[in-house]
Every structure is written in structure tokens, then in C-alpha cells.
Amino acid sequence: MTSTHTEHTGHDHHHGDACGHTAFQHGDHTDFAHDGHLHREHSGHYDECEPSGHVVCSGHDHEHGDGCGHVAVRHGDHVDYVHDGHRHAAHAGHYDDH
Ligand SMILES: [Zn+2]
Ligand SMILES: [Zn+2]
Ligand SMILES: [Zn+2]
Ligand SMILES: [Zn+2]
Ligand SMILES: [Zn+2]
Ligand SMILES: [Zn+2]
Ligand SMILES: [Zn+2]
């Protein structure tokens, strides 16, 4: 699947091991939770790691919530849970792959 390429312009911070932002594995790359945005490095700049379209995570029998054991990161107006290298967001009774 192709993801949209949205460069975060004017990003003068370099994410890394000790930068203080929550880092987590997202598929084949690392995302950093940065002020409600999720940033991934790309060719020397940072992209907004945004989902392309609506992808329902099927067969999800786990309920994410406080204390569920997964890392929760704020993503705009909702929360994503880091789940086995995916980001899951609650949506209308199911979870989306974000
Ligand atoms: Zn950072
Ligand atoms: Zn950033
Ligand atoms: Zn990502
Ligand atoms: Zn969970
Ligand atoms: Zn999300
Ligand atoms: Zn999940
Ligand atoms: Zn959905």
C-alpha cells in the first residue's frame, strides 16, 4: 500500500534515542510521538506518518485501554495503541490500522 508523503516542514529537531519523545516500532520503521503528530525519518527530513484511507483491523479480540500493556500515543484527536508493530485506533466499535 502506498502511504501519502507529507513532509513536516520546519522540523528543526532531530529524533533519536535520547530525544525524549516516545519512539516505537511501526512496520519497517520507527515512529516518534511528537506533539500529537507521529513522525518518521525519511531521506533526511521527517514525514507525518499518516494512514492512507480506512483500514479495519479484522479479528482483533483485544480491548485497548488504560493499563492494557500497550504503549498509547496521542495522534491528533485520538489515541493510537502500539500493537505488534502496528498502530491501532478505536473507531466505531472496531480498531483501525493506523
Ligand atoms: Zn524527538
Ligand atoms: Zn518530530
Ligand atoms: Zn510510521
Ligand atoms: Zn492493548
Ligand atoms: Zn491514529
Ligand atoms: Zn490492537
Ligand atoms: Zn474504522
The string of pLDDT tens digits covering residues 21-35 is 999 999 999 999 999
Average pLDDT of the residues in 44-50 = 95
Do residues 40 and 31 make contact, with C-beta atoms less than 8 angstroms apart?
yes
- The Å distance, Cα 81 to ligand 1 centre, comes to 19
Kindly list the protein residues that place their beta carbon closer than 5 angstroms to ligand 7, a single-atom ion: 91, 96
Write down the pTM of the prediction.
Answer: 0.89
Nearest ligand to the C-alpha atom of residue 88: 6
- The Å distance, Cα 11 to ligand 2 centre, comes to 7
Mean pLDDT of the chain: 94
With a cut of 90, say whether residue 68 has pLDDT above it: yes
Give the single-character DSSP code of 71: E
Do residues 83 and 64 make contact, with C-beta atoms less than 8 angstroms apart?
yes
Cell of 38: 507521529
Comparing C-alpha atoms, which of 85, 84, 83, 82 is closest to residue 22? 82
Nearest ligand to the C-alpha atom of residue 90: 7
Average pLDDT of the residues in 51-67 = 95
